[in-house]
Structures are given as structure tokens and as C-alpha cells.
Amino acid sequence: MNPFFRIRLGILFLLHFAFYPAAKAQVVPLADTLRPDSAIVREVIITGNHKTVRKIITRELTFGEGDTLAAYVLEAAIERSRQNIMNIGLFNFVDIQYFRGAGKDIILHITVTERWYLWPLPIFEIADRNFNEWIQKRDLSRTNIGMDIKQDNFRGMDETVRLQFIFGYTQRLGLYYQVPYINRKQNLGFQAGMSVSRNREVMYEVEGNKLKFYNEEDDFVRKDFQSYVRMTRRKGYYEFYNFTLDYRRSTVKDTVLDLNNLYFVEGGTIQQHMGFGFSYRNDHRDYQPYALKGSMYELEAFKVGLGLLPHEPDLIGVAFSYRKYYPITKRWNIAGAAKIRFMQLDRGPFVNQRALGYGSDYIRTYDYYVINGQNFYLLKSNLKYTLMPTKVYQVPGFQSDKFKKMPVSFHLNAFFDAGYSNDNYYAAANPLSNNVQYAYGVGLDFVTYYDLVFRLEYGNNRINEPGLFFHIGAAF
């Protein structure tokens, strides 16, 4: 799937308003409310969930009504539960207070501020791999416009229904659906999606670790159809399993094969496959969009081509990643991430040789390059200082709780990344492959509501090409 750098015009518009400070709610200290030995959670009251069904919230609590907890673990359990509820992605704010009842009884009061869930947003997409590559070309024809109609929290059950109409450099029509729980135990979920797309331009080769493109103004060079179904399983609070079955069919014009006869399998104009994927994720991060504490590790395995269709590649791969976030002091944090991927060494088609430089698998400051290959490893590290801890500001002109309070924080960081991609077939024309690459630099991160993270970074790398780079989303 080609990665796209998306700018949400509706969200960015909000960031132009001036801010006014707003008060933050506080959790009642344990010492003021409880005896020192234990507490019984007698009742859980939830307010603010005008749409969200109660069980979607209580699913995230690490304890239930009637549970007895040692007093010294209660505050930690409540904070962990608050983080779990925030990580659903349905709320801008979650506050938890607790009050003493009779004897050891406590009453828990959870207040949530729901997000805006219906997004009929105009789309302005940059068709290059990242903003920095696009701004280097400054070509407005390499953009997409359209409409993304997304209904989050459909029926209050954390379901998502999404319809896309995209025109321009890429034309795409897509329909997607996901529901986290389809059973009473709330541990099994389902996802499905399908899309059709067509492009006037296609990347057909990598030379000097830069993509080469072929385009036709009057015709579409490549057409794709994709579909998938996915079963999900959640074990406890932090373990997630995904089982995916997908189908893809792609066609290109003969001219592409004249430029690279290994573009598809068998040197033909058609490639299709049935594929199967499995992933396991163990996620203990405090706030998933921008973690400062906790850890996450993930195992992925995939088989592209099940031998059931003509023109199928035969690829097997496995990847493992680990991230750790550790607070040193109240404002200083260190974090590290590692990922390694192995893919079978038999020559595969060009379109299946992606490694470093796509999606989140990239070395910072190498934004203008790709490092293709079969196997790779990637290391990322940050030393971070919280320049301004999260403050909540009042946005003038909004009466709705969904927009009027905006959390804002700023973080300075120093980074060092390194990576290596093993390419057995195309390295002769790509000197960054089969060599260790590294980069270092400094950056400023801006974090706000609706999981938005903006990063401005300045750095240098092994090939001595310093630069200033802009990204949306956390580095890892």
C-alpha cells in the first residue's frame, strides 16, 4: 500500500485560534479519602458519555465494582485505568475522582469529554512518501483532493465506518468498517475494507536510492483493487492479536515493463495475490499517540501468495519491533525503538522490495531517499525534555466541549537513528544499501488534541546532508 502524507484541513484550521488557559481537574488524593489498608469499589459512576456505551468505558478499568484493592495500589490502578480509557481514542479528556463511602467503600466518578465523531472532511493529500520529499519538488500536480467521510464511535460502540472519494494524482474510492468487539466477553473484533485506485504515474525503479517515476498525462499507468477481512482478539488490557486475509490485483501498462521487466512477478503486466498475516502486540504505553512512559513490542508474520491464483508472488516475511519509554525525572525522558525484518531471499518482484524509507520505517534526515532490500534493522533513540507540560487552553468561539478545550504541550528532543538494509539484487545502483546508515539531530514536538503531533527536526547523517524536516505524528 503506497503511504501518503495527509494534512487534515479541518483540524489544522482550529490551530490558528488564540488560546486562553482553562483549569484542569484533579484526582482526589488517597490520603484524604481512605483508610490505609484497603478499599472496596462499591460503585462506578460515569458522566459525559452522551453517545459512548458504558461497557466500552468499563472494559478499560483494571478493576470492577465490588473489587477490593489494597490502598497503596489504588491510585496507580486508577491512573492506569484513566490511561486505558484515553487510549481508546474516543475522548479528549478523562478525569477520575473517588470519594469515601461507608466503611471501606469508595465511589468512583469518571468524567469523559467525548470527541467529535463525524468527520466529513475535505482531503488534501501529498502523494509523495513524506512532506519533505514533496516540498523539494513543489509540484501541485502531485497532490490529491477529495472527501473523507468518517463516522467514529458509530452506535456508541467504538465502531468506525469510513468512505473515501479521492481525485488528482491518485484516484481512489474506498469503504472501510471496523468494530472492536462482536461478542459478550468483549475480546473479539472484526474489520473489513475494500478500495479501487488508479494512477497516472508509477515509481518503476530505484537509482541512487531515489525513486524514478514514469507518467502519462492522458492515461492511467497503474490500476489496483484491494480488499481484506481481519479478525482481532484482545486478551486482557494490553495484548492484541490480528489475523488478516487479503486480496490484491494490480495491473500496469506495457511501457512500465519496458523500463523494468522485473516490476511484477513473471515479468507480466498483472500481479495478484491472496495473502495471510498475523500480528501480536503487547502495549503498555501511557499514551499511544505520544508515549513518555511504558513499553510496546510487536511480532508480525506474513505470507504474500498462497499458490491459489495465477501471477502470484511467493514471499514470506517476519518482523519484530520493541519500544521503551522511560522517565528520568519529571521533565526528562529517554526512549528507544528497534525493529528487524526478515524476508525470504529468493528474488521477488520490484514492488515487493520495500524496506527503509516507507511509512514509519525510516531513518530521520533520510527523507529524500529509500533504502530497498529484503532484510533490514532499524534503531531509533530520543533524549527528551518537556519544555511545557500539558496545559489546557480555551479556544474562543466554540461552545461545544468537543472543541473548546485544547491540550497543548511542547517537547525538545535530541535523537540518534541507525539502520541497515540488505539488498541482494539492486544494491549496485543504490550505495546506501548494504551499508550502515545513521543520523543525529535535535527537534521540537508540539502535541495537541485529536492525537495530533507536529515535529520540526534539524539533523545530519552519514552522507553529510544536513537539513530541516517537518513531520506529522510521533517518531516512534
| pLDDT at site 33 | 44
Whole-angstrom Cα distance, residue 108 to residue 45?
A: 6
What nine digits make up the cell of 107?
A: 465511589
Dump pLDDT digits (tens) for 188-217: 999 999 999 999 889 999 999 999 999 888
| pLDDT at site 24 | 36
Q: Give which of 210, 232, 225, 222 is closest to 433, Cα–Cα.
A: 210
Range scoring the smallest mean pLDDT among 11-25, 28-42, 175-189: 11-25
| pLDDT at site 71 | 85
Side-chain half-sphere of 79: how many Cα atoms within 13 Å?
A: 15
Mean pLDDT, residues 305-313: 94
Dump pLDDT digits (tens) for 403-441: 788 899 999 999 999 999 999 888 899 999 999 999 999
* H-assigned helices in 204-348: 254-259
Where does the chain hold its CATH 2.40.160.50 domain(s)?
Answer: 5-9+116-472
Q: Give which of 9, 107, 2 is closest to 472, Cα–Cα.
A: 9
Helix (H) or strand (E) holding 469: strand 467-472
- Residue 231: pLDDT above 50? yes
| pLDDT at site 141 | 64
Side-chain half-sphere of 166: how many Cα atoms within 13 Å?
A: 26
| pLDDT at site 125 | 64
Dump pLDDT digits (tens) for 88-108: 999 999 999 999 888 889 999
Domain 5-9+116-472 part of CATH 2.40.160.50: yes
Whole-angstrom Cα distance, residue 271 to residue 305?
A: 10
| pLDDT at site 348 | 80
Mean pLDDT, residues 348-372: 93
Is 202 exposed, middle or buried (CB count within 10 Å of its CB: 0-12, 13-18, 19+)? buried
β-pair type (467-472, 38-47): unpaired
Q: Give which of 420, 418, 417, 422 is closest to 353, Cα–Cα.
A: 422
Where does the chain hold its CATH 3.10.20.310 domain(s)?
Answer: 33-114
Whole-angstrom Cα distance, residue 99 to residue 105?
A: 9
468: confidence class by pLDDT, cuts 50, 70, 90: very high
Dump pLDDT digits (tens) for 124-134: 666 666 666 66
Output 279-283 pairs: Cβ under 8 A, ≥24 positions apart. 279/240, 279/241, 279/242, 279/244, 280/239, 280/240, 280/241, 280/242, 281/239, 281/240, 281/242, 282/238, 282/239, 282/240, 283/238, 283/239, 283/240
| pLDDT at site 133 | 67
Output 312-315 pairs: Cβ under 8 A, ≥24 positions apart. 312/265, 312/271, 312/272, 312/273, 312/274, 313/265, 313/271, 313/273, 313/348, 313/349, 313/352, 314/344, 314/346, 314/348, 315/343, 315/344, 315/348, 315/352
Mean pLDDT, residues 56-70: 94
Residue 407: how many other CB atoms lie within 10 Å: 16
For 352-436, list the strands marked E by DSSP: 375-394, 405-422
| pLDDT at site 10 | 39
- The CATH label, of 3.10.20.310, 3.40.50.970, 1.25.40.10, 1.50.10.10, for the domain at 33-114 is 3.10.20.310
- Residue 269: pLDDT above 90? yes
Mean pLDDT, residues 285-311: 96
- The DSSP secondary structure of 138-163, one letter per residue, reads T-GGGEEEEEEEEEEEETTTTEEEEE
| pLDDT at site 101 | 82
Range scoring the smallest mean pLDDT among 71-75, 84-88, 381-385: 71-75
What nine digits make up the cell of 16?
A: 490558528
Whole-angstrom Cα distance, residue 284 to residue 265?
A: 40
CA 296, distance to chain mean position in Å, is 13
| pLDDT at site 140 | 62
What nine digits make up the cell of 372?
A: 530497498
| pLDDT at site 134 | 62
Whole-angstrom Cα distance, residue 398 to residue 384?
A: 33
Residue 468: how many other CB atoms lie within 10 Å: 12
Range scoring the smallest mean pLDDT among 25-29, 31-35, 129-133, 403-407: 25-29
| pLDDT at site 450 | 85
| pLDDT at site 176 | 97
| pLDDT at site 7 | 38
Is 341 exposed, middle or buried (CB count within 10 Å of its CB: 0-12, 13-18, 19+)? buried
| pLDDT at site 136 | 67
Selected residue with higher pLDDT from 72 and 457: 457
What's the helix, strand, coil split of the chain in %, to 5?
Answer: 10, 55, 35
